[in-house]
Amino acid sequence: MDFNLSDEQEAFRAAVVEFAGRQLNEGVAERDAAHQFSHEAWKKCAEFGIQGLPIPVEYGGQGADPLTIVIGMEALGYGCRDNGLIFSLNAQMWSCEVPIARFGTEAQKRRYLPGLSDGSIIGIQGMSEPGSGSDAFSLSTTARQDGDEFVLNGSKTFITNAPVANVFVVFATADRSKGAFGISAYLIDSSTPGISVGAPFHKMGLRTSPMSEITFNDCRVPASCLLGRLGAGMAIFNHSMEWERGIILAAAVGSMQRQLEASVAYARDRKQFGQPIGKFQAVSHRLADMKVRLEAARLLVYHLGWAMGEKKSTTPLESAMVKLFISESFVQSSLDTIRTHGGFGFMAEAGIERDLRDAIGGEIYSGTSDIQRNLIARHLGL
């Protein structure tokens, strides 16, 4: 087994770190306090090529392999302190771009993928509803076929990017008698009559990533908006979730590296009782635990990226383990970073507590930690 990155991958990682540190961090604290999404930062990421990473070259993207994407997102998390921006990028890449690239018609790919890549349009996925969160496929939103059109009625909630999005991948029940197999996916422009987007939610963390409800009231769309075949919604959603669960927290690994470096530097400089606090076993052991979590998280997500690129037989088990371990590790490392910095780490002006607020969401979105444990247990035959 060769764990070395190629020269190209090393150069790419360094370029992403340099770009993110130079272009994406100005005004992060102010945007976080104001719950403000940065269109400027979004465009900068597109110009660099972030949004285009999973999009094939023929549609304006980078056509990067999964491991290189993981490396790039990890580097983005290391260099960029705006976790909300990174979350919005992930939301588009895995829940909008990947389904279109995999299941879209040629016309749908040509219409949407170039704009999603160059930042001129923003995409989302509409799955969660007020009555269906972890129970993802118990949808109440319906799509009734009427001639050569579909008529959608219902509502979606906790939809990342909804207030700024141009295109929605919407899941709706077309045939209730078939249960989950009666769900289909639709590509719908946000300007379509019958769609209303609610006011942005105010959240504990990830505040620079806008989120709101979407309501469909007799929203008519042409049959050409169907993504994949009729009734393929479950397969489309599960495919996108394999990517999302597996890669959405790659950036958190970069953040954990940044946290460890900052904590080690502080533990060396901060003195109490006549010596650096890093000399106290309680502090040094905390930093040792951060290091172990970091390296284990990196190995898990790198292995998944490698397996996806080699077209090995990846399963929901692997992506569930990545999602579970990194999300909980990020929370713990954020807590340890604050503890190491003491009162200074508790102050908003230090920019340290923001990571904790942002990290907690990782145990909820893309399937809660409880759901990931259910998936893992199921693959153990339990």
Catalytic residue set: 244
Q: Which residues of 229-256 are buried (b: 16+ CB within 10 A; e: fewer)?
A: ebbbbbbbbebbbbbbbbbbbbbbbbbb
Short-list 148, 150, 130, 149, CA closest to 138: 130
Beta bridge partners of 220: 151
Distance of CA 364 to the CA centre of its chain: 12
Short-list 333, 321, 323, CA closest to 292: 333
Residue 15, token pair as written in the block = 């370029």
Which residue type is seen at 11? A
Which residue type is seen at 173? T
Distance of CA 242 to the CA centre of its chain: 12
Residue 200, token pair as written in the block = 């942005």
H, E, C per residue of 166-226:
CEEEEEEECCHHHHHHHEEEEEEECCCCCEEECCCCCCCCCCCCCEEEEEEEEEEEEHHHE
Q: Which residue has the tokens 């939103």?
A: 141
Find all residues with CB under 8 Å of 260, minimum gap 6, and list them: 287, 290, 291, 294, 333
DSSP-assigned letters across all residues of 63-116: ---HHHHHHHHHHHHHH---HHHHHHHHHHIIIIIHHHHHH--HHHHHHHHHHH
Find all residues with CB under 8 Å of 222, minimum gap 6, and list them: 148, 149, 150
Rounded CA-CA distance 70/362 in Å is: 17
